[in-house]
Amino acid sequence: MEDLKYFKQFDIKFATLGIGIHEFDLKIDKTFFTKHNNEEIKDADIDIRLSLNKKETMCLFQFSLKGKLILVCDVCLENLEYIFHSEEELILKISNEKRQSEDENIVYIHSNEQIYNVEQFLYEIIYAQVPMRKSHQDMNQTCNQEMIQWIEINSKEQAQHTDPRWETLKDIKLENN
């Protein structure tokens, strides 16, 4: 149960911490995506430094993320490395009543709670990093030219093959009417 142990790192036991700043090192790699299935992210290698500032009635989480995502190039369909660095903040407000937060960076938590799990928050941050356009050129890398040629040849062949089939389908439709 290696995975279970891996995911434990995201349970932040804030209640037992003393007032002041505490630091944690978290790691996101392929194991993370065995649970958070994502078609766009093939792999990842991200180091996260979490600096937690505990106060009387709140905890301030500051995340510094550094690393890379392995995405798929839109042009040549080969893997590409996307390097990124991001700073994020999350405020945990400890309260005695249940409250909904309208701000995605503020969470209200009951004073009975001991642990806050940051896994989903991190997943959303990382997913937000995926750019709309993903190509080697945009990231100063080189596309696989052989793959591009292969894709071109294949799509041409497919177009040639598709036409007669469409014709046949049309004929069938006409007959049925």
Interface residue list for Zn ion (CB under 5 A): 73, 75-76, 136, 143
Between residues 53 and 137, which has the closer beta carbon with respect to Zn ion?
137
Shortest CB 81 distance to Zn ion, Å: 11
Shortest CB 141 distance to Zn ion, Å: 7
Between residues 47 and 146, which has the closer beta carbon with respect to Zn ion?
146
148 vs 141: CA distance, rounded Å: 15
CB hemisphere CA count around 58 (13 angstroms)? 11
139 vs 132: CA distance, rounded Å: 13
Between residues 58 and 143, which has the closer beta carbon with respect to Zn ion?
143
Shortest CB 137 distance to Zn ion, Å: 7
Shortest CB 79 distance to Zn ion, Å: 9
168 vs 113: CA distance, rounded Å: 65
Between residues 73 and 92, which has the closer beta carbon with respect to Zn ion?
73
Shortest CB 32 distance to Zn ion, Å: 25
List beta partners, residue 48.
26, 65
Q: Which residues, in sequence order, are CB contacts of 42 under 8 Å at separation 6+?
A: 70, 71, 72, 79
Between residues 57 and 154, which has the closer beta carbon with respect to Zn ion?
154
Q: Among residues 4, 66, 70, which one has the least CA distance to residue 31?
A: 4
